[in-house]
Copies of this chain bind each other. A is one copy, B any other.
Amino acid sequence: MAVVAKLSNTTDSNELTALDALRNLCATDMERVNQLILNNMESNVPLIPQLAGHLIAAGGKRLRPLLTLASAGICNYRGKNHISLATAVEFIHTASLLHDDVVDDSGLRRGRDTANSVWGNQSTVLVGDFLFSRAFRLMVQSDSIRVLDILANASAVIAEGEVAQLTTANNTDTEEDSYLNVISSKTAALFAAACQIGAVIGERPSQEENALYQYGLNLGIAFQLVDDYLDYGASDNRLGKDVGDDFREGKITLPVILAFRRGKTEEQDFWRRTLENLDQNKDDFNYAQKLLNEHKALSETQVRARGYTETARTALNVFPQSPYKKALEEVVDFCVDRSY
**Which residues of chain A have a CB within 8 Å of any CB of chain B?**
43-48, 96, 99, 102-103, 121-123, 125-127, 129-130, 132-134, 136-137, 139-140, 143, 145, 148-149, 152-153, 155-156, 158-160, 162-164, 166-167
Given contacts A145-B145, A148-B140, contact A99 B129 (CB under 8 A): yes
User: Which of the residues B47, B48, B102, B133 comes within 8 Å of A125, measured between beta carbons?
Assistant: B102
Q: Which residue of B lies closest to A181 (CB)?
A: B44
Query: Is A160's CB under 8 angstroms from B103's CB?
Result: no
For A143, the closest partner residue in chain B by CB is: B145
Contact status B156-A137, CB under 8 Å: yes
Find the B residue at minimum CB distance from A132.
Answer: B132
Residues of chain B lying within 8 A (CB to CB) of residue A137? 149, 152-153, 156
Nearest Cβ in chain B — how far from A147, in angstroms?
10
Cβ contact of A103, chosen from B46, B125, B159, cutoff 8 A: B125
- Asked whether A123 lies within 8 Å of B163 as measured between CB atoms, the reply is yes
Least distance between A110 CB and chain B CB atoms (Å): 20
Instruction: Give Cα distance in the complex from A43 to B47, angstroms.
Output: 34
Residues A152 and B166 in contact, CB atoms below 8 Å apart: no
Residues of chain B within 8 A (CB-CB) of A163 are 43, 45, 47-48, 123, 126-127, 130
Q: Which residues of B contact A46 (CB under 8 A)?
A: 167
**Chain B's nearest CB lies how many Å from the CB of A138?**
9
